[in-house]
Amino acid sequence: MKSVAIIGAGITGLTAGFYLKRKGIPVTVYEAGSRVGGVIQSLRQDGYLAEFGPNTLLETSPKIGQLVTDAGLQSRRLDPDPTASARYLVRYRRPIAMPGSPLGFFSTDLFTLKAKLAVLREPFVPRRRDGVEESIAQFVVRRFNQEFLDHAIDALVAGIYAGDPYKLSVTHAFPKLKALEDNYGSMIKGQIFGARERKRRGEIAKDRAPKFSFDEGLQVLTDTLGQHLGGALRCCCRVSAVERKQDRWIVTGRTKGTNVETEHGAVLFCSPTYALPEIRLTCDGRPVEWTALAEIHYPPVASLVLGFRREDVAHPCQGFGMLIPKIEGFKILGTIFSSSLFPNRAPAGHLTLTSYIGGERYPELASLSEEKLVELVCADLRVLLGVRGRPTFQHSVPYPKAIPQYNVGYGRFKDLMNDIEAKAPGFFFAGHYRDGVSLSDSIVSGCSAADRIENHLSPHLG
């Protein structure tokens, strides 16, 4: 049986390859870089553990826990400290714990009486029926008010997408919110009456999903999946052409200065879409126009991990972290209290804080030197957390193209992907530009891609 070509060895490609191999379907994974895992990378240094990309994995689907079990990583799974459940939102230039219950919401200092009354009014706001695609900003202002947008949703959007709420599509970036309005006429009603349906599907809302990592960080997962794939991995191999000839696929990869052609039964593309202009796609002698997918916007983001002595940070930092609305005037998008979440992320008597900067809000800041980033982030942390003195550890990673933006009009990209898959049977897309930008979304995307490919190949199996 011809193998399935998987282009990209990030978490989506690794997951798809892992499950295809378990189904008895051979795979070949092409990775342009020298290592697997994409943005997932964990660094152990001087007693600190720094995560370059995501810090936690959310168990939003049964498929997440199943992958951990199937990969043999249950014993290395690390659940967060139960006392670190608080999430903070910055208002009045200080972090305030977000309420964990309806009663807490109505007593919190985070929102004014006007905003609280807007929540009570929301079930009576009519749903939109004219078919116009709204930004998340338009949606929130219509159903709640401007205060909710400026002081809550803007921060949430920065934390998930590093994006702009006035550009992001509620239909594509937050489809579950749109579905609540479509199905129940209200966010509040949908949360109440939709709980049974979500439970039946085995889904958990991201704000309630259990989060976890591994003893040596999230790279444990990607390294383990890479080990399971073994000789199926071709690192430092950049794909330059993909050609369909009848029911065969020919992939041309360049490694060590030499072009190598390999025949496959199907192809899964899960590299970032900005890599597409470098790859020629041909179907039965006709070129397939897919370079429009390279127009998907990926803003730059820098991740900065700082270590401090515990006595040099006034705030207790007991919790997940803090999100920061633009209106508060800080440069940081948000900060994760990494060493409060999991043990062994910092030496005894120290803290690890992971901050993100740049995005659609301040793209020019993501390319600053590490020293400039440290200066800028420490200035914000002095005000927000009472940090003083120099950090005892620092490590920054710039991502010139970080997170795909599901902006208004994003449907044209999804339509193009669907059209290509229909016109080129055996070619599949998966990943964070297709099925959601979170780490858990990417894993579920890889699982689904493996199932779709198995179904496509089923007449030839056995």
Which amino acid belongs to residue 136? I
Residue 100: is its pLDDT beyond 80? Answer: yes
Could you give the maximum distance between any two Cα atoms of the chain, in Å? Answer: 67
Q: What is the pLDDT of residue 201?
A: 64
Residue 20: is its pLDDT beyond 90? Answer: yes
Residue 203: is its pLDDT beyond 80? Answer: no
User: Of 439, 459, 421, 456, whose CA–CA distance to 37 is shortest?
Assistant: 439
Region 83-112: mean pLDDT is 92
The yes or no reply on domain 42-83+297-399 and CATH 3.90.660.20 is: yes
pLDDT: is 218 or 193 the higher one? 218
**252-310 pLDDT tens trace:** 999 988 999 999 999 999 999 999 989 999 998 899 999 999 999 999 999 999 999 99
Residue 187: is its pLDDT beyond 90? Answer: no
pLDDT-based confidence at 198, cuts 50/70/90?
Answer: low
Place of tokens 């730059």: 300
Question: C-alpha angle 371/377/379, rounded to 5°?
Answer: 105
Q: What is the pLDDT of residue 85?
A: 84
The region of weakest confidence among 52-61, 325-334, 350-359 is: 52-61
Residue 345: is its pLDDT beyond 70? Answer: yes
Place of tokens 């579920």: 444
pLDDT-based confidence at 209, cuts 50/70/90?
Answer: confident
Contacts of 128 (CB under 8 A, 6+ apart): 134, 142, 181
Q: What is the pLDDT of residue 204?
A: 67
Residue 400, both tokens: 């010139």
Give the C-alpha distances (Å, rounded to integers) separating 408 from 147, 173, 189: 22, 9, 26
CATH pick for 111-202 out of 3.40.718.10, 3.40.50.150, 1.10.3110.10, 1.10.540.10: 1.10.3110.10
pLDDT-based confidence at 459, cuts 50/70/90?
Answer: confident
Q: What is the pLDDT of residue 78?
A: 96
Q: Name the phi and psi angles at 116, rounded to 5.
A: -65, -40
* Cβ–Cβ under 8 Å, residues 87 and 319: yes
Same fold, 4-36+220-296+407-460 and 111-202: no
Where are the domains positioned within the chain? 4-36+220-296+407-460, 42-83+297-399, 111-202
The superfamily CATH assigns to domain 4-36+220-296+407-460 is FAD/NAD(P)-binding domain (3.50.50.60)
Q: Residue 427's CB: how many other CB atoms inside 10 A? A: 23
* Cβ–Cβ under 8 Å, residues 329 and 94: no
Region 168-188: mean pLDDT is 92
Region 61-68: mean pLDDT is 96
**389-444 pLDDT tens trace:** 999 999 999 999 999 999 999 999 999 999 999 999 999 999 999 999 999 999 99
Name the percent of the chain lying above pLDDT 70: 97
Q: What is the pLDDT of residue 399?
A: 96
The region of weakest confidence among 7-21, 149-163, 194-208 is: 194-208
Considering the chain, what is the average pLDDT of its residues? 94
Q: What is the pLDDT of residue 257?
A: 86
Q: How far apart are the C-alpha atoms of 100 and 85, rounded to whole Å?
A: 10
* DSSP-assigned beta bridge partners for residue 407: 168
